[in-house]
A and B are shown apart, each in its own frame.
Chain A
Amino acid sequence: MSAAATRSGARLWVDRLLVAVTALVALLWILPVVWVLAMSLKPNEVLQRSTWGFVPTPFTLDNYISLFRVSQVPRWLMNSAIVAVVMTVAVLVVSSLAGYAFARLRFPFKRTLFVLMIAGLMIPEQAVFLPLHQMFADWGVHNTHFSLVTPRVAVPIGVFLMMQFFRAVPKELEEAAELDHASRFTIFWKIMLPLSLPALTTLGLFTFIHAWNDFLWPLVSATRADMYTVTLGLGSIQGNFAQSLGLGSMMASAVFASIPIVVLFLIFQRYIVAGVAMSAGK
């Protein structure tokens, strides 16, 4: 056996070892999730004695059933769904329209407006949530879906991503339509939007996940329990840790709060990875 072959043989073994170590780390990584899942499927009395174990024996669905019968979790799930869907649609509409204007149209003060928009990227949520709270209080619209959605629609990063995408579309596709005297909106609607489905999917996914997981703004705006989102509601039951609600039910709420997001993630993982690469300015 030649020296080179031994060498590549050794490399192969090191490779296998690295993969095994990685798999072990991944297993440890996901262990807390498996544990929570197991707890959500065990009776509360058993959990009071011991929380140890990764297999739900004895098995029960009572925690989930009781959530639907007595708790506000279904209501919170509904609020989250409404907020996340409306916000996603609004962000897609607003960002794609503005992104198209920046990418393709000529208009006065374009440079000024663009710089103004980029400057908005620098303003963090924490710098505006207090004044926003005062504005919404003055209007008397806290504890509404409206207040949970609207402050989150102005996302410069969305406009920026759509603009980048539209600029990469060949101009010839539009020029043909222009010759047919199609209006700008028709061109946008019939040609550009269908082409930009991948970008819209990515932006939509990120918006949906952020809307679902939003915490600080709902915390200060939704003060009535019936207007909580599921993310906020889960925070509120952690306050009185396992007192009113059994441990098993609490874990079941956490599972419920995560299922829609995890399913979306597993289906659209590719787009999420693409979105991360895109936000890096690639």
Chain B
Amino acid sequence: MTAAPQVRTLPLAEPRTRAPRSPARRREGLTAFLFLAPFLAVYLLFLIYPFFKGIWISLHDWDLMDDSIREWWGFLNYSDLWADPIFWQATRNTLYFVALTVPSMTVLSLLLALAVSGGGRVRAVCRTIFLMSSVFSVTVVTLIWTMVLSTDRGLIAPVFQALGFEPINFLGSPTWAMPSLTVTTLWWGVGLPMALFLAALGAIPRELYEAAELDHASRWTVFWRITLPSIRHTLVLVLILQIVGQFQIFGQAQLMTNGGPSGMTRTLVLYIYDTAFRDWLVGYAAAIALALFAMMFLFSMLQLWLGRRGEES
């Protein structure tokens, strides 16, 4: 999960004295080290070291299998990247997917949260249904939706035919392929942002609504004047989490369209995967991966910045 927590409460308000350490202090330090050791070991070995090794690899001509191809190239991979039309196409595709998915996911999850918040058995069952689709694996979700969208065996084509329309080959059409991936992703991912909104809605003080009722405010007014301002932090959080999350789209594009038709759904992660494991150009793939990381890092920074600004206001 890429849910970066809001780093608001640093636990570090301890006096930083340079006083000589008592044996008890030293023993506590040793104990702390033992408690931390397992985490530090896996963390350094499987996250920090690979991150820097990735930078190192990106500066080489690095073959996937052949150990003898490890030639220092400096920034050649990066200058190739800059001139690579497929990289820019993949970047555009990824941004297009993010632009399609993030606003629709945010609006849909908020609407569903408003619809299912509150008491009653029907609402509880609906909550469970909307949440449940997000525990399926990406391969189950793509299997379901490849079938649903299929022209000869799907669920949508017969409806089109019954209404007198020509069925659309959604996944094979340059226009509809990406929106199809978005619909699939909405169905898969709406549960978590909905749960975030539900938590935020539950935290709004009841008195605000009671006061609005006394004023005979309409539902519409109540939503714009009370509900939306009260959940604005969650709204920002959902937006940022969605942007960072949807940037990483891979499984849907690989399994449903494999980047097609004619590269229209080739996303950045799919391009990284193909470059490394189909073309064996690991050095170049690592350079693309770092470019992707840089884009996502910008959005993470935006999250911190907005979080801090929200704190001040």
In the bound complex, residues from chain B placing their C-beta under 8 Å from that of A131 are: 49-51, 53-54, 56-57, 286
Q: Assess the A257–B139 pair: CB atoms within 8 A.
A: yes
Q: Assess the B1–A97 pair: CB atoms within 8 A.
A: no
Let me know if A261 is at the binding interface, CB within 8 A.
yes
> Which segment of A65-73, A98-106, A169-177, A193-201 sits at the interface?
A98-106
Q: Assess the B292–A127 pair: CB atoms within 8 A.
A: yes
Interface residues of B in 52-69 (CB under 8 A from A): 53-54, 56-57, 62
In the bound complex, residues from chain A placing their C-beta under 8 Å from that of B163 are: none
Band of interface residues on B: 35 or more
Q: Assess the A106–B28 pair: CB atoms within 8 A.
A: yes
Provide the bound-state CA to CA distance between A161 and B6, in Å: 12
Q: Assess the B2–A234 pair: CB atoms within 8 A.
A: no
Let me know if A135 is at the binding interface, CB within 8 A.
yes
Q: A120-B48, A131-B50, A132-B46 are in contact. Are A273 and B1 (CB under 8 A)?
A: no
Q: A105-B28, A235-B139 are in contact. Are A130 and B153 (CB under 8 A)?
A: no
From B5, B123, B187, B272, contact of A160 by CB (8 A): B5
Provide the bound-state CA to CA distance between A160 and B48, in Å: 17
Let me know if B76 is at the binding interface, CB within 8 A.
no
Which of A51, A108, A188, A280 neighbours the largest number of chain B CB atoms within 10 Å of its CB?
Answer: A280
Provide the bound-state CA to CA distance between A53 and B123, in Å: 27
In the bound complex, residues from chain B placing their C-beta under 8 Å from that of A32 are: 144-145, 147-148, 155, 187
In the bound complex, residues from chain B placing their C-beta under 8 Å from that of A21 are: 115
Minimum C-beta distance from B145 to chain A (A): 7
Let me know if B228 is at the binding interface, CB within 8 A.
no
From B50, B122, B155, contact of A22 by CB (8 A): B122
Provide the bound-state CA to CA distance between A210 and B192, in Å: 14
In the bound complex, residues from chain A placing their C-beta under 8 Å from that of B302 are: none
Let me know if A126 is at the binding interface, CB within 8 A.
yes
Minimum C-beta distance from A242 to chain B (A): 9
Q: Assess the A105–B32 pair: CB atoms within 8 A.
A: yes
Minimum C-beta distance from A75 to chain B (A): 16
1/0 per position for B100-140, CB-CB distance to A under 8 A? 00000000000010011000101101101111110111111
From A93, A102, A156, A276, contact of B199 by CB (8 A): A276
From A22, A31, A36, A126, contact of B248 by CB (8 A): A126
Q: Assess the B42–A153 pair: CB atoms within 8 A.
A: yes
Q: Assess the B39–A130 pair: CB atoms within 8 A.
A: no
In the bound complex, residues from chain A placing their C-beta under 8 Å from that of B81 are: none
Number of interface residues of A (CB under 8 A): 104
Let me know if A281 is at the binding interface, CB within 8 A.
yes
Q: Assess the A134–B282 pair: CB atoms within 8 A.
A: yes
Interface residues of A in 137-173 (CB under 8 A from B): 150-151, 153-154, 156-157, 159-161, 163-164, 167
Let me know if A81 is at the binding interface, CB within 8 A.
no
Residue of A at shortest CB range from B37?
A: A97
Q: A29-B129, A52-B158, A120-B47 are in contact. Are A94 and B12 (CB under 8 A)?
A: no
Q: A103-B11, A150-B42, A234-B139 are in contact. Are A210 and B1 (CB under 8 A)?
A: yes
1/0 per position for B205-221, CB-CB distance to A under 8 A? 00000000000100100
Let me know if A114 is at the binding interface, CB within 8 A.
yes
A interface SS class: helix
Q: Assess the A163–B11 pair: CB atoms within 8 A.
A: yes
Provide the bound-state CA to CA distance between A123 and B293, in Å: 7
In the bound complex, residues from chain B placing their C-beta under 8 Å from that of A179 are: none
From A23, A35, A209, A276, contact of B155 by CB (8 A): A35
Let me know if A13 is at the binding interface, CB within 8 A.
no
Q: A127-B54, A215-B139 are in contact. Are A279 and B3 (CB under 8 A)?
A: yes
Q: Assess the A258–B42 pair: CB atoms within 8 A.
A: no
Q: Assess the A36–B11 pair: CB atoms within 8 A.
A: no
Q: Assess the B11–A279 pair: CB atoms within 8 A.
A: no
In the bound complex, residues from chain B placing their C-beta under 8 Å from that of A118 are: 7
Q: Assess the B39–A94 pair: CB atoms within 8 A.
A: yes
Q: Assess the A280–B43 pair: CB atoms within 8 A.
A: no
Q: Assess the A258–B140 pair: CB atoms within 8 A.
A: yes
In the bound complex, residues from chain A placing their C-beta under 8 Å from that of B293 are: 123-124, 126-127
Residue of B at shortest CB range from A160?
A: B5
In the bound complex, residues from chain B placing their C-beta under 8 Å from that of A129 are: 289
Provide the bound-state CA to CA distance between A108 and B25, in Å: 10
Q: A123-B47, A215-B139 are in contact. Are A22 and B123 (CB under 8 A)?
A: yes
Provide the bound-state CA to CA distance between A1 and B144, in Å: 53
From A29, A52, A107, A210, contact of B32 by CB (8 A): A107
Provide the bound-state CA to CA distance between A274 and B116, in Å: 17
In the bound complex, residues from chain A placing their C-beta under 8 Å from that of B120 are: 19
Q: Given contacts A35-B148, A51-B153, A126-B293, list 12 more A-B pairs with CB under 8 A.
A: A26-B125, A32-B147, A95-B39, A101-B32, A107-B29, A128-B46, A131-B54, A133-B276, A231-B137, A234-B139, A276-B196, A280-B3
Interface CB pairs A-B, < 8 A, 16: A7-B216, A26-B126, A30-B133, A36-B143, A97-B39, A107-B33, A123-B47, A154-B42, A157-B1, A164-B9, A185-B31, A216-B269, A258-B136, A262-B136, A273-B198, A276-B196
